Structure 1
Amino acid sequence: MAKIILIFASMSGNTEMMAHAVADGVTANSEKIEVIDIMDGLEVTDLEGFDGILLGAYTWGDGELPDDFLDFYDDLDSMNLAGIKAAVFGSCDSAYPHYGAAVDILMEKLTERGAEVYPLGLKIELTPDEKEEEACRTFGNEFVSFLKSPCL
């Protein structure tokens, strides 16, 4: 059984809703997942020993990571994530010029650190409705399949 961690930041609860739906998609495949709010004091070294990493973050302002994620993001520079599979999701707001930039920023950082990143980051406009929550569960399910596939 793979060891999977999901780390999220949520200000309004939208990304938290997504995180729980993604986790439901993972557990539907009989996989266990550890879900952590980044505000709970996570260190990047806590990623060691995991086979799969899921990151969820909302986009702040004109296309930035939320403040909650900044230290974690910077600390990722000390990690070698080769052999780890990862995926990113987040709530977005189309009122801003860079739609879902946090998803793109995190995908780029994970790739830079050597992780094999699921190529489709999931972006949901604001609060997920029932259909979008199902898309989050599907995303979690697809991540498990991606995790079990041979490395590229």
Structure 2
Amino acid sequence: MASARIVYASLTGNNEDIAGIIEEAFEDLGVDVTTTEVSQALASDFEDVDICVTATYTYSDVGDGELPDEAVDFYEELQELDLKGKVYGCCGSGDRFYDDFATSVDDFDKAFAKTGATKGAEDVKIDLAPEEDDIKHLEAFTKQLVEKYQALQ
């Protein structure tokens, strides 16, 4: 059985909801999944699973779209890992009002790329809270991650 870990950062609850949707989709696909809030996680936790997922918001009130403060250490540690043989996916919510819409999703994608992990699905960026179409997109994202993992076996 494949295993997955979802690490999320959520200020408003939107990314906690996103993580929950992905968790349920993994369970429906028979994947053993663990979900952890980023302040309670270590990047090295990804070494123990087959599929790695981050769901994060972008802090946009000042500057050019920043990683959440609580995710900075995790992000920096992630880039130092060797995750060859793992599959990853990045998603998160943002607010289209800002020019830097969901740029933390892009930042985590680049961090995972440095680890040697295989990108399993295109990034998913959601405007604010996930709605019905977003849920379907997240379920498809999760299925693609599992299919990519299976193809690598």
Question: Common fold, TM-score beyond 0.5?
Answer: yes
SS of the residue 2:79 aligns to: helix
1:142 maps to 144
| Residue aligned with 2:116, SS | coil
Q: State how far apart, in whole Å, the 2-side matches of 1:36 and 1:103 are.
A: 17
- How many aligned positions are there? 150
Name the % identity.
Answer: 27
Instruction: Determine whether 1:39 maps to 2:71.
Output: no
- CA distance in 2 between partners of 1:64 and 1:71 (Å): 13
Matched, 1:2 2:2: yes
Which amino acid is 2:141 matched to?
F
- Which of these residues, 52, 70, 88, is aligned with residue 72 of structure 2? 70
Partners of 2:126 and 2:79 in 1: how far apart? Answer: 27
SS of 1:48's partner is: helix
CA shift, 1:74, in A, is 0.9
Asked whether 1:26 is paired with 2:26, we answer yes
Shift of 1:119: 4.5
Q: How far 1:142 moved relative to its partner?
A: 2.0
Number of the residue aligned with 1:56: 55
- Specify the SS of the correspondent of 1:78: coil
CA distance in 1, matches of 2:76, 2:82: 13
Higher relative contact order (CA 8 A, sep 6+): 1
Bigger Cα displacement from structure 2, 44-53 vs 87-96: 44-53
Q: CA RMSD in A?
A: 1.4
Question: Aligned partners of 1:63, 1:146: CA distance in 2, in Å?
Answer: 30
Query: What secondary structure, in the 3-state scheme, does the structure 1 residue paired with 2:29 have?
Result: coil
SS in 2 for 1:105: helix
Q: Structure 2 length normalisation: TM-score?
A: 0.91
Structure 2 unaligned segments of length 5 or more: list them. Answer: none
Q: Which runs of 5+ in 1 are unaligned?
A: none
Separation in structure 2 between the aligned mates of residue 6 and residue 110 of structure 1, nearest angstrom: 14
